[in-house]
């Protein structure tokens, strides 16, 4: 166990040092994912035009929701599909297969370490957002922060596995990243980044509930802001774990079949 912990520490330390060298690039990528912040301004303007409330949300509630949505979106971002697609097609995956470690955990360490580099910049932007809309309360207490931390961690792992499954498709297709582009379009509308799901038509909302999308952003946001009661939080955790387990099983199956096709082209 101690040997495994040492290896894990070294892996994360190396990737943290690597990600820290690209702080400016990380900030640029953070700003490119500003859709929730833009929508916050739109919905606050709509609430003001309607007399301070619209759809059961006031200005402070919109600010809290979209700031939390932006935080969540930043914490679950994953680019492993692009890395896998490139490494499989170019043959750079071959050296990784010789190591006594599933390549997935190296990619995971890189993603997780990058979250730590993002965190200080995220806190500055959230603090500025809270000042812009006075009276905004992002979370009611520390317990909701802890519950949110668990929820967003599972959401990140689920998003990472979705991207990993897409990247593995490069064993069969020349441009698996095109599927990841489609995912981004669907996720923008279905995760709740554009609007709280309360504003969606009932039929569409019912469909979305059967997908993993609301459990990546919308429900973790409800946990953080204190809008989700205890029974809902328990249900959210249960569904999130089911989706994570399902995509992990899918990833394992695709990986085994993909390796059987791997020709190490370009290695």
Domain annotation covers residue 108 = yes
Domain annotation covers residue 9 = no
Domain annotation covers residue 5 = no
Domain annotation covers residue 11 = no
98 token code pair = 């010789």
Specify the number of domains making up the chain. 1
Among candidate residues 144, 155, 163, 157, the one with its CA nearest the CA of residue 215: 155
Task: List strand residue ranges (DSSP E) for 47-202, in order.
Answer: 53-54, 57-58
Among candidate residues 175, 178, 221, 180, the one with its CA nearest the CA of residue 198: 221
pTM: 0.89
Dmax over Cα atoms in the chain, in whole Å? 64
End-to-end CA distance of the chain: 34
Contacts of 166 (CB under 8 A, 6+ apart): 81, 176, 177, 179, 180, 183
Domain annotation covers residue 18 = no
pLDDT, one tens digit for every residue, the chain (267 residues): 666 667 676 666 766 676 666 666 666 766 667 788 888 888 888 888 887 788 788 888 999 999 999 999 999 998 899 889 888 888 888 888 887 888 888 888 888 888 888 888 888 888 888 888 888 888 989 999 999 999 999 999 999 999 999 999 988 888 888 888 888 888 888 998 888 999 999 999 999 999 999 999 999 999 999 999 989 999 999 999 999 999 999 999 999 999 888 876 544
């Amino acid at each position: 166990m101690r040997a495994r912990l040492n290896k894990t520490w070294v892996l994360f330390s190396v990737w943290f040092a690597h990600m820290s060298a690209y702080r400016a690039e990380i900030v640029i990528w953070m700003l490119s994912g500003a859709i929730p912040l833009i929508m916050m301004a739109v919905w606050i303007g709509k609430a003001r035009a309607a007399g301070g409330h619209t759809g059961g949300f006031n200005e402070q509630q919109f600010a809290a929701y979209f700031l939390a949505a932006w935080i969540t979106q930043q914490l679950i971002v994953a680019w492993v599909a692009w890395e896998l697609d490139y490494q499989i097609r170019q043959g750079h995956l071959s050296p990784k297969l010789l190591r006594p470690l599933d390549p997935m955990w190296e990619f995971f360490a890189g993603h997780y370490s990058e979250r730590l580099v993002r965190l200080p910049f995220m806190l500055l932007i959230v603090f500025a957002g809270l000042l812009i809309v006075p009276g905004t309360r992002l979370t009611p207490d520390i317990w909701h922060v802890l519950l949110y931390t668990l929820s967003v961690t599972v959401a990140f792992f689920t998003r990472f596995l979705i991207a990993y499954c897409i990247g593995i498709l490069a064993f069969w297709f020349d441009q698996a990243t095109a599927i990841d582009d489609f995912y981004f379009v669907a996720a923008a509308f279905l995760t709740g980044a554009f609007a709280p799901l309360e504003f969606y038509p009932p039929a569409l909302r019912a469909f979305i509930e059967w997908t993993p999308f609301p459990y990546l952003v919308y429900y973790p946001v409800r946990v953080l802001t204190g809008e989700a009661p205890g029974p809902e939080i328990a249900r959210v955790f249960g569904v999130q774990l089911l989706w994570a387990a399902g995509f992990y099983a899918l990833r394992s199956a695709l990986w085994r079949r993909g390796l059987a096709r791997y020709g190490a082209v370009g290695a």
